[in-house]
Structure 1
Amino acid sequence: KLKYNKITEEYNKLSTQQHSAKLFCCDFTYYISDNSNNFDLMMEVHQFNVKSLEQTCFDVLKDHLCTENCIGLWQFTKVWYIPILFQLKYEAFHFICENFEEVSLCVEFLQLEEQELADILGQDGLTVTQESTVYQSVLRWINHMPEERQGAISTLLPKVRLGLMDKSYITDNVLNNDVVKTNPESHLLVSDTLKVMSQPSLLCSESGINNTLFCHRLPNAVLLMFRFFSKTIEAFDYRTNSWITVHTHPSLEDSMTHLFFYSTVFLGRCFYIVGSGLRMSDPSNKVWRFNLVTHTWQEMSPMQESRYLMSVTVLKGCIYAMGGFRDDDGTSRRTAERYQPNINQWTFIASMNEERIRASCTTLNNKIYICGGWSNYRVLNTAEYYNPDTNQWTLITPMGTPRYRLGVVAYMGHIFAVGGSDGSRDLRSAEAYDPVTNTWYDVPEMVHRHSYFDIAVMNKKIFVVSCSTRNRIVECYDYTTNTWSVVFSGMDYNDCVRCCVISGLPNMAEYCSPHKPIIPRTQV
């Protein structure tokens, strides 16, 4: 509805000489409500040269991107050479790859051209739980028009990472498949893959076998960790459960070496450091941005107020900073502000109902939820949400346990509050909030107690990272099993950490484990 209102605003600004554009507004609003695939309307508004209306329509298309229409939108953006559609083309293609398992079951998937499907399947960043899913999608696409598409198996099968499948699956489901058997080129490819599985040394020989068949695909996202004291940036690859050092202290700006107790967010290919301080009486309003593509630092416009140990999050392309320590008397704040990267400017929003430091926040359903924290020498169990459309904060049912230094994330449509301290000890407990019923319920306890940890959602799991007690520990929660498990543990020196999840970068390989062939499994 808000998008319709925005289109109506642009409609009312148009002059009578732009009657055709006015008609477009009505047609475009009907298109959104009808959810059809008539993307030609975007071409019409471009011809009217009404930039504000064009941007609004772009935003609407992007917001309505889903598994059922992403392929049609991607195909549409490839046809028209409109500058504003270049980013939409990237967004749609990234959405296809990141949600491939669901997209491959939709009707639009069966309408792809052969080369379009090959381009998708060949992406290192294609997100699939099992490589057999990619193979099955190829068969589904071919069987939709078998007489016309059987020959495409020679183009599509090399895009499937056969070497990542079980040998028994290849023998039973690929080698003996009728489409594969009737295509000599594809049958040879499968036979060669099975040979390598039996003799891994062939990968290093001059056999001519495509090593890509045995390479893991890149993860769709990685966990980026910034350490307070060592000033190193490291990335956690969940597919290999390994860490990669990305950036180290010597290359940081000299003026940044004092930063402690800051907050971090990921937005638009950049890693933001917001606020900092060495002690209660020395908070900072400075903001730094690290470009994850160019590996360069840049100081951005400062916040309106100096603060640190505040809570930060991203909502619809803007950064929000809430609470934190004051700069005059060391007490906590309830003020909040918003950063718009397109104009590099911070502005105040409505203040929270509570003063909060060391609280934690997240976003869900176009709202910001902030929970717990410390205020006036007491640990808080209160929680509230911010609605950017009304610029209002609303208190919700308090948590069952007072917590500060906790982790809060949106997960499976609920708000999870994990760990933290009740003022006397670190907590293993966790609880979750259902926004529909406005109630909290208990979640299984973590394996460990964590101090100065951070939390994020990645690969449909909650990840908790800490570098305390001379150990680096990563544990995750999986809703399918309703359990926590440790996925990484190793000796390390104590440090405070901040984390965020990064995705969609053109150079994602730099933040992942080395992209090399794995040792084939030889068991049948």
Structure 2
Amino acid sequence: MRARVNNFDCLCSDTVEFENCVVTCNVIRTELSEHSGYFKTLFKHHLNGRKVILPEFLSPGFQSVLDYIRNGETDISSMNVYDIVIAADYLLIARLKQDCAHFINNQLENDPSTALRLWIKFRQLFWPELGHRALLKVLANFQEASQSADFLSLSLEDLVTLLENDQLNIAEEYSLLDVIARWVAHNPKANVTELLLNLRLDSLSPEELHKLRNNPLVRTQPVYSQFLEMWPVAMPTQQISQLQINRMHSSRNPQEVLIVFGGWCSEEGPGAAVQVFNAKSNVWNVCPSSLSISQMPKRVYASAVLMGSRVFLIGGFDGTRVVKSTLCYDFSRDSGWVYKSYMYEKRYFVSATECNGVIYALGGHNGEAQGRLSSAEKYIAKDNQWQLIACMNKVRSDASAVSVDGRVYVIGGFDGRTYDDSTECYDPATDHWTILTRMSTARGGLSCVVHEGLIYAIGGNDGFRRLKSIEKYNPETNSWEYFQNMNKAKSNFSSVVIDNTIYNIGGWSDESEVGIMDQVERIDIKSKKISSVDSLHFPASATCVCILRDIDLVDKYVNCQPTMDHNVNNNLPARYRDRSNGDTRRNIRAIIRNRHVDFVYDVPQGRRRRPRRSRRRSREIANTLE
């Protein structure tokens, strides 16, 4: 490339030099004017001179600019992109600047370890979009960023900016103490208390709080130590403001949010409410009518698939009939639910998953006698079109589907007579299904998730009873092995993975109190520890779920207020609604108490009444729909 550049020297009409620098470049005036707004204006008024002197800071990136102007391209790398951006920005070469932005965005997406360096560099430029994007990547990958060499070189102000941010992604708040200690060891003269004040104390367990009080680094800070002794009733002081105390009481925003759609709600059948779970604060909310997502039609035994910012609800039962519809909601637009192309088959008890940007709907039941299906179809979102694919080797309803490494896996199910222990794999390249190793137990109404390339088959029904057991499958070895037992046997529930933790939501159990559950159980995949979290607002089985991971959208949905109007109130099961006759306008407010939501409304006389809350559980009647 250099040889090609040097061939222009004989045509060069001008020389570019740099202040306080011996570097010179021979240039062609017309060439620079064509591509650079800066040189176009300069040469328009600088007619006689043959020498142009530029600021010294443009020198490192100027040769890359010349390569780009003369050859239409230049080598952009993590080592030179900052210098090229400075030169392209100063010289008004918009296309080159956009190429650099594209490179940086790809680098942030594929190599988050570079985000910290890019944030430090690009926030100094007048390019807030890139600086903000780099900051979000640092916050989302803070554990990785804190291990880099660049981290120890952060200023105190930079580190405080990160630690105080609500979007800081950290699995355990207490682990920030180790991060602070490592930075302080490299910056011993820093104000340690200013860093410690950014710990969210309400997110610490009693054991962690005790360890914090006795930590050697903390004990060297008398102001903070005294404050900790008074926590959680500590008051503001000259050194610690009320704003900082309020922050300590709050939890950090999640990087992802769990969204539950519809489900079978006790004796009332299919529901339409949308429930949102914040795993950081362990709180469920029902989406208010201010978000059009709350106006979804009733659905049960459907499947939810997220692609980009859009969620697709595939098939299901609406309380009257089995449907073949595809419902779509765009989180980024909040413009309501839209009906997309219909499937070839009506399907409920359907399994669906996304693979390589394509949605696959597998098996299910069409609502007719002997209506369980082996057929499968795929949805091309850009064309809004369903296409039939090869049928599965077995008839399957009540199965579960996932995708791993470009292949679709469907696991378990029910054929109308027996529950299945088999697994099939679909290769989109060959349109062919392959039977794989069997599970140790037949499972219908199970739920499957993927974590680090392994498939987890959870619970279900073996034809005799609901199951507690979880098995995991390794696609590389084509083998199943036992993983762990849940606390409670269940089927027809939903499962997702957040932060190395499996969440099992609602479902139907035949243990203890038989019926539909509102309980949510989580399993730490690394330690296999099982615990319970805040329950659903109301018991529900046969829900479908998705995980929204777009940080720009998560805050909008995770912080939706529990206050509800009449429309959302009607989406809830009757026992959780306001039971007023509707003759008088009322102000409805949601009060969260333990596992339940009570709707309290104010009547004109100022008298408050609360609907009675039944504890009775009813039998699930989904199996009678056939």
TM range (shorter): 0.7 to 0.9
Note if contact 2:467-2:490 (Cα within 8 Å) is conserved in structure 1: yes
1:328-357 CA distance string (max 9 Å, x none) = 9844143231343xx463453853543543
> Which residue does 1:219 correspond to in 2?
254
Letter in 1 for 2:410: I
Note if contact 1:222-1:238 (Cα within 8 Å) is conserved in structure 2: yes
Gaps of 5+ in 1: 1-16, 181-186, 515-524
1:71-91 CA distance string (max 9 Å, x none) = 235456656778xx94x7666
Note if contact 1:222-1:235 (Cα within 8 Å) is conserved in structure 2: yes
More RCO (CA 8 Å, sep 6+): 1
Note if contact 1:360-1:406 (Cα within 8 Å) is conserved in structure 2: yes
Distance 1:63 1:369, change over 3 A: farther
Note if contact 2:517-2:541 (Cα within 8 Å) is conserved in structure 1: no
> Which residue does 1:338 correspond to in 2?
379
Distance 1:40 1:50, change over 3 A: closer
Distance 1:226 1:153, change over 3 A: same
1:146-176 CA distance string (max 9 Å, x none) = 4xxx346465444333565625523543443
Distance 1:257 1:126, change over 3 A: same
> Which residue does 2:521 correspond to in 1?
475
Aligned mates of 1:326, 1:91 — CA distance in 2: 46
> Which residue does 2:228 correspond to in 1?
194
SS at match of 1:506: helix
Aligned mates of 2:307, 2:240 — CA distance in 1: 45
> Which residue does 1:521 correspond to in 2?
none
Aligned mates of 1:93, 1:207 — CA distance in 2: 26
SS at match of 1:277: coil
Distance 1:125 1:395, change over 3 A: farther
> How well do the aligned residues superpose, as a CA RMSD in angstroms?
4.4
> Which residue does 2:453 correspond to in 1?
413
- Equivalent pairs, count: 468
SS at match of 1:166: helix
How do 1:312-391 residues align onto structure 2 when only pairs under 5 Å count?
312-315=352-355, 319-326=359-366, 330-340=371-381, 343=382, 345-346=384-385, 348=387, 350-351=389-390, 353-354=392-393, 355-375=395-415, 377-386=417-426
Note if contact 2:471-2:482 (Cα within 8 Å) is conserved in structure 1: yes
SS at match of 1:448: strand
Aligned mates of 1:55, 1:338 — CA distance in 2: 33
- State the shift of 1:432 in Å: 0.7
Aligned mates of 2:427, 2:125 — CA distance in 1: 36
1:303-323 CA distance string (max 9 Å, x none) = 453443322334566544334
Aligned mates of 1:61, 1:349 — CA distance in 2: 38
Aligned match for 2:273, one of 232, 257, 262: 232
Distance 1:135 1:276, change over 3 A: same
Distance 1:347 1:230, change over 3 A: closer
> Which residue does 1:166 correspond to in 2?
209
SS at match of 1:422: coil
SS at match of 2:169: coil
- State the shift of 1:140 in Å: 2.2
- State the shift of 1:416 in Å: 0.6
Note if contact 2:399-2:444 (Cα within 8 Å) is conserved in structure 1: yes
Distance 1:395 1:280, change over 3 A: farther
SS at match of 1:379: coil
How do 1:126-145 residues align onto structure 2 when only pairs under 5 Å count?
126-145=168-187
Distance 1:348 1:78, change over 3 A: farther
Deviates more, 1:167-176 or 1:208-217: 167-176
SS at match of 2:489: coil
- State the shift of 1:326 in Å: 4.9
Aligned mates of 1:404, 1:267 — CA distance in 2: 26
> Which residue does 1:184 correspond to in 2?
none
Are 1:246 and 2:287 matched, yes or no?
yes
Distance 1:391 1:222, change over 3 A: same
- State the shift of 1:408 in Å: 0.6
Are 1:71 and 2:102 matched, yes or no?
no
- State the shift of 1:225 in Å: 1.9
- State the shift of 1:464 in Å: 0.9
- State the shift of 1:385 in Å: 3.6
Aligned match for 1:118, one of 160, 169, 172: 160
Letter in 2 for 1:217: R
Aligned mates of 1:318, 1:59 — CA distance in 2: 24
Note if contact 1:162-1:214 (Cα within 8 Å) is conserved in structure 2: yes
Note if contact 1:456-1:462 (Cα within 8 Å) is conserved in structure 2: yes
Deviates more, 1:449-458 or 1:50-59: 50-59
Distance 1:429 1:170, change over 3 A: closer
> Which residue does 2:442 correspond to in 1?
402
Letter in 2 for 1:159: N
Note if contact 2:213-2:229 (Cα within 8 Å) is conserved in structure 1: no
How do 1:417-496 residues align onto structure 2 when only pairs under 5 Å count?
417-468=457-508, 469-488=515-534, 492-493=538-539, 495-496=541-542
Aligned match for 1:499, one of 545, 548, 554: 545
SS at match of 2:443: coil
SS at match of 1:425: coil
- State the shift of 1:407 in Å: 0.5
Distance 1:458 1:42, change over 3 A: farther
Note if contact 2:374-2:392 (Cα within 8 Å) is conserved in structure 1: no
Note if contact 1:232-1:249 (Cα within 8 Å) is conserved in structure 2: no
- State the shift of 1:359 in Å: 1.9
- State the shift of 1:275 in Å: 2.5
- State the shift of 1:237 in Å: 3.5
How do 1:247-286 residues align onto structure 2 when only pairs under 5 Å count?
247=288, 256-278=296-318, 282-286=322-326
SS at match of 2:143: helix
- State the shift of 1:452 in Å: 1.8
Are 1:305 and 2:305 matched, yes or no?
no
Note if contact 1:444-1:484 (Cα within 8 Å) is conserved in structure 2: no
User: Percent identity of the aligned residues?
Assistant: 21
Aligned mates of 2:273, 2:367 — CA distance in 1: 27
